[in-house]
Amino acid sequence: MNRVIVIAALLAAIPLQACSRTGDKEAAPGMPPANAPVVVTQIGEDSAPANTPPPSLVRPTKWVAGTNYRVLVSPLPTDAPAGKVEVIEFFWYGCGHCYALEDTLTGWAKTRPGFIQFRRLHVMWAPVHQQHAKLYFTMLALGREDLHGKIFEEIHKNRNLLAAQDPAASRALQQSFFEKNGVSKKDFDAAFDSMAVATNMQRAADASNRYAVESVPTFAINGKFTTEVSMAGSPAMLVDLVNDLAAAELDSGQKK
């Protein structure tokens, strides 16, 4: 696709791919290039729904490694406690594909199996991604997860990019957005400049590097697998794939 597609009815009719690290054809119109000379000086986790049994504790056979998902050469450690399976979405606010997937993902997050521990991580590839990551982690530090969807809409519907080549201008855009949504300048400044935000940005950068994330949205399951919409086949098939891989991992862990 050459333009951001935000009409959900078109999703089934177009080949869903991803926004790549080196090319921004799927970014919001007017978004500064990823390599624009911008300098930007509790990682998000959705609360799990009520515990529900896994739909299946059998290694999925309808999914093919290398076709529907990638197997990491060396498994990575996760933050999930015993009896839970970690699922991470790597995303970028400026990515049209991430925006197009958001409704499906939000619905899944509310109804996912209780053994899945889900969290989002914003990529930190280049200055524009770093500015949006700062926006995301500031939102979390403020306890305003309710603004996650609004940020996507502000960028893709309202064409307010919430980023700029000048760091001060970027900060002003983000501050204005939060103020319009009930956050005082004092609270914004405290969160924006906090050690928690700086720490989470570094952790996000480290995680993106460890998982070798080259496009978004990318999903990581239990430190062992990664996948994308295009590999699964569709948004609906993506959540089925994530559920199946997570259930198989839970089963594998219980048998140890």
Q: What is the pLDDT of residues 68-113, one digit of tens each?
A: 999 999 999 999 999 999 999 999 999 999 999 999 999 999 999 9
7 against 177, higher pLDDT: 177
Q: Letter for the amino acid at 10? A: L
Query: Are the beta carbons of 52 and 114 closer than 8 angstroms?
Result: yes
Q: Give the pLDDT band of residue 43 (cuts 50, 70, 90).
A: very low
3-class SS of residue 158: coil
Number of residues that make up the chain: 256
Q: What is the pTM of this model?
A: 0.81
pLDDT tens for each residue of 17-33: 579 887 654 566 555 44
C-alpha dihedral over 70, 75, 77, 78, to 10 degrees?
30
Band the pLDDT of 59: cuts 50, 70, 90: very low
Quote the pLDDT of residue 70: 97
In sequence order, the 6+-apart residues with CB closer than 8 A to the CB of 220 are 76, 86, 87, 88, 90, 211, 226
**Taking the domain 8-254, which CATH number applies?**
3.40.30.10
Half-sphere exposure of residue 57: CA atoms within 13 angstroms, side-chain side: 11
